[in-house]
Structure formats: structure tokens, C-alpha cells
Amino acid sequence: MRNKIIIGNWKMNKTPKEALELISTLKPLVENSEAEVVFCVPFVDIPCAVEALKGSSISVGAQNMHFEDSGAFTGEVSPGMLYELGVEYVIIGHSERRQYFAETDETVNKKVLKAFEYELIPIICCGETLEQREEGITMDWIKNQIVKAFENVPKENAMTAIVAYEPIWAIGTGKVATSEQAEEVCGHIRNVLREIYDDETAEEIRIQYGGSVNGANAKELLSMEDIDGGLVGGAALKADFANIVNYNK
């Protein structure tokens, strides 16, 4: 049985001081919940977030990393730096990084492989644009993204990965996918993983939905068979995040 995992993607929000304020609001509300909880905070907030969440059930994640161990890559952050700080998860290939920072399926794959070398669990993002959905190519597009992201990833690593299906048209728009639309694609992702690996691996990998998730729509989305959690943007910065985490209470 896959345990649900709710991840807050804070994006480029909250200074370290503000991060500590938000953590002190959210921590008592989401600690010791049935679902696993992760806060993916900006790089500069990681040290204080790790410290503030020490001994709690909440884990800290990053929102990106480089695919090399170290070197002349001005402005980048390496996986070893994240690991040393106590980071456990890292978002890879978010659509905003693909759109604004030229990330490709190839760099996503390199980052996924490198994350596992450092015992970081990748949260691998995929999703289609509105044009692609209207053209009817969503399923092919997603399959391609998943196949490329998992290239050369051994089964024992793949099993621990998290996939986040985030239709681009639903991100930050308030236009949430229906639970049927989200389930259709998450189920498809599981089938693609079954083709790449096997039943056991596909049943183990957790697949999240992301895109305008909030306390009001979480229960319906999270009750779908192949939706094992949520990747939450805007609502992760508010007390409403607790309603998502505690969706079945």
C-alpha cells in the first residue's frame, strides 16, 4: 500500500525569516499526519528549515540541483551540498524550470541519475500544455517525458522515486484538473512505468498530481486510485496546506 505524500513547493517565496514563521504556523498543523509531508524550500532557507524541523515527521526538499558533482558552474548548487545540509528530496524538471531555464528531458535524466548517487529522492515532474491537451497528444507527450526521465535508472532506485504529474494549464491558474483527468494521466504514467520496469516497480512508485490543489479539492483528487499525493504550490504557503495534508479527517 502506497502511503500518500504531500509536498509543498514554495517556489521563489519566503526569506529565511519568513520561512521560519511559516514553518512555525504549519508544523503543529501537519506533524504526525497519516500522509508524509515534505517542504521544498528555496536553497537559502534549507539550513534553517532543516534545523526547525529536526525531530519532526516533516522532511526538507530542494527545488532543483545541478547534475555534476562540482565544478565551474557559477550560481549552481550541487547534490552533495544538498545532502550535507540534510535535504532528502529534490524536485527535478519542474515545468517552470523547463520553460524559463531551458531544462530538457536530457538534463532531467542526468539530474535524476545524479540525485540517486547522493541518496536524494527525485520528485520528477511532467505535464502537458493546454495546446498539447487540445491537440490530443497528452498521453504520448507524458510517456516520452517519463521514458526519458527514467533512462538508465535501475529498478531499485526507480522504486523510491516520486513522479509529479502537473498539467501546465493547471499550475497557478486556479484551474484544477478534474479528478478523472488527473487519474487518467496518473494511471497512464503507472502503465508506462510498468512497461519500462515491471508490475512490482510500477505499484511501488508514488505518483502525485499538482496544479491548483487546495483544501477544498484535495479529498477528491487524493481518493483516486493512482494519485498518491499532491505537489502543492500556492496553497503550500498558507494554513490551507494543513487541510490538504489532513484531507481525510
Known catalytic residues?
A: 94, 166
- Which residue number, 46 or 201, has a Cβ lying nearer to ligand 13P? 46
**How many C-beta atoms surround the C-beta of residue 97 within 10 A?**
18
Q: Label residues 138-155 b or e (16+ Cβ within 10 Å = b).
A: beebbbebbebbbeebee
Provide the binding-site residues for ligand 13P, judged by CB under 6 A: 9, 94, 166, 171-172, 210-213, 231-235
In the complex, what is the shortest distance from the CB of residue 224 to ligand 13P, in angstroms, rounded to a whole number?
A: 17
Taking alpha carbons only, the member of 75, 106, 112 closest to residue 91 is: 112
What count of residues does the chain have? Answer: 249
Alpha carbon distance 190, 202 (integer Å): 6
CB of 194 to ligand 13P, least distance (A): 25
Cβ 115 to ligand 13P shortest distance, Å: 17
Closest approach of ligand 13P to the CB of residue 22, in Å? 15
Of the candidates 138, 120, 119, the one whose C-alpha atom is nearest the C-alpha of residue 128 is 138
Between CA 67 and CA 79 the distance in angstroms is: 8
C-alpha triplet 89, 10, 208: angle, nearest 5°? 55
DSSP 104: -
* Residue among 19 and 201 whose Cβ is closer to ligand 13P: 19
Please say which residue, 136 or 174, places its beta carbon nearer to ligand 13P.
174
Residue in this structure with the C-alpha cell 499532491, named with its chain if needed: 230
Smallest distance from the beta carbon of 195 to ligand 13P, in angstroms?
Answer: 26
What is the rounded distance in angstroms from the CA atom of residue 167 to the CA atom of residue 26?
27
Q: Give me the residue whose beta carbon is nearest to ligand 13P.
A: 233
Distance CA 245, CA 113 (A): 29
**Between 79 and 93, CB nearer to ligand 13P:** 93
* Of 43, 33, 100, 41, residue with least CA distance to 66: 43
CA distance linking residue 177 with residue 179, whole number of Å? 6
Closer residue to ligand 13P, CB minimum distance, 153 or 235? 235
